[in-house]
Amino acid sequence: MAGAARRPLVAGNWKMNGLSSSQTELARIIQGARELAGLVELMVCPPATLLARFAVAARGTEVRIGAQDCHAEPAGAFTGDLSAEMLKDAGAVAVIVGHSERRTYHRETDADVRAKALAAWRAGLCAIVCVGESRAEREDGRAVAVVGTQIDGSVPDSATVENLVIAYEPVWAIGTGLTPTPGDVAEMHGHIRQRVVSRFGEQGQGIRILYGGSVKPSNAKELMSVADVDGALVGGASLKADEFLAIASVYR
């Protein structure tokens, strides 16, 4: 697999899905993860209502628990928001920031995403920083430039292998069933690698770059085999243990 020197990461973003009964799916993921120990890192990012319960259930297992978003401030009068410190306290080890749905529906800018990544680091969490272009931007030939600008603006200085994961998610591929060609993915991931190495030196060689956008068992092996693809950020397919584990199993 590509990126042999970097331990692959397959993270599931459950988005606004999951109730108490979803703990049975987590239990199945935890059970299946035993067979993948040492081969791939597995992470589940449930909604905030399940975060603490999932963290307790996953303690001491091969599955790590992450969060889907955070506020940039550590505390304050921000009704409905959660700080990175709160997520850490609930048991999260990482937090997704800058997902395209946050950028689109909540109008988050690169500066907003950067502030949230800094908050994650402040709390001792790994920041999974999402970047990606729209269909119009790709059709206009601006995909590489757009993603480069997002990385420059969204990723803070002092990034390390431990505190940063970058997830490339072409916006037009999220939840649509559409995926870019392996050649498109290779071009973008190569560009991202070049960008982080240029900026962070040797650390940039070790920073993991995930692909996200309609990843499913049927296309996972092809996508995960592309150079500089170090795993996946999985959406809908992560809600079912069988599908999520099948994607991770390409690293066996």
N- to C-terminal Cα distance for the chain? 10
- Tokens 């259930």 map to which residue? 57
Cα atoms in the 13 Å half-sphere on the side-chain side of 239: 12
How far is CA 152 from its chain centroid? 18
**Catalytic site residue 85?**
no
Q: Could you tell me the two tokens for 73?
A: 């401030």
Q: Among this protein's residues, is 169 annotated catalytic? A: yes
In the structure encoding, which two tokens stand for residue 250, read together? Answer: 């390409």
Burial of 221-233, coded b for 16+ CB within 10 Å and e otherwise, reads eebbebebbbbbb
Which residue in the list 41, 62, 169, 243 is annotated as catalytic?
169
Nearest in space to 169 (alpha carbons), one of 196, 188, 145 = 188
Which candidate in 99, 137, 189, 243 is catalytic?
99
Cα 14–Cα 20–Cα 25 angle in degrees, nearest 5: 55
Handedness of CA 217, 221, 227, 231 (dihedral sign): positive
Residues 6+ apart with CB under 8 A from 82: 48, 67, 69, 70, 71
**Which class for 4: exposed (0-12), middle (13-18), buried (19 or more C-beta within 10 A)?**
exposed
User: How many angstroms separate the CA atoms of 252 and 219, rounded?
Assistant: 16
Q: Which residues are marked as active site? A: 99, 169
